[in-house]
Structure 1
Amino acid sequence: MGCIAFGVIDRGTNLLQIRPTTLCPLNCIFCSTDAGPKSRTRLAEYVVALEPLLEWVDRVVEYKGRRGIEAHIDTVGEPATYPRLIELIQGLREIEGVETISMQ
C-alpha cells in the first residue's frame, strides 16, 4: 500500500518499512529527500491514517507467513512527527508475526 514515500514497503525480506508520514520540521543540510520547511522540491506532504496502515501491515505479515517480521518505522521525513505514533507502535505489537519494532 502506498508508494516509496509513504505506506508499507516490502522489499522481499523479513523487514517491512512502515512509512506513516512525510512530514519533517527540520532543515538538515545533508537531507537526501529534501524534507523540511525550506524544501525546494516537495509539493505535498502525506500523513497516512492509522487504521488502514495497520490493516495493510497485517495483510503483508499474513502473506509472509506470520513469523520473524521486523516492522521498521521510517519516513522520508521525521517519524516522530506522526501524530498517532504511540498508537501505531501499540498496533504493530498486536500483529501476530511482528517480532521486532524499530524506528529510524
Structure 2
Amino acid sequence: MTKTNTVLATIVKEKARVENSIEREGAIKKNVENTEAVLEHIAELVEANTPLPEDSNFTSYEEWENFLNKRLKAFNSSLETIAKQKDLLSAYEYYITNNPVV
C-alpha cells in the first residue's frame, strides 16, 4: 500500500467518524431548546414565588438554574465542535475527491 493510499484510508475513517458526530447535531439542538424552556419556566416559578417541590433533586431554584446553565454551556460547546467538524468534513471530502486510489 502506498503512502497516499494509507493517508486516504485514514481520511476515509476520520470522515466516517466526523459524519457520525455531526448526526448528533439535531438532538443537541433539541436539548438546547428544552433546557432554555426549563430555564424560562424556572424564572416564571421564581417570579410567582412558587415553592420548590419537596421531591426536587435540587435544594433551590438557583441550584437548579446553575445546573441547567452548565448543561447549556456543554451543549453549546458541542455545537461549536460540530461546526468545526463540518469544516473538517468538507476538507476530507475535497481530499478524497482529488486523491483517488492509485
Give the TM-score category using the shorter length: under 0.3
- Give the number of the structure with larger relative contact order, counting CA–CA contacts within 8 Å between residues 6 or more apart: 2
Q: Compute the TM-score of the two structures, normalised by the length of structure 2.
A: 0.24
Q: Compute the TM-score of the two structures, normalised by the length of structure 1.
A: 0.23
Query: Higher strand fraction: Structure 1 or Structure 2?
Result: 1
Query: Higher helix fraction: Structure 1 or Structure 2?
Result: 2
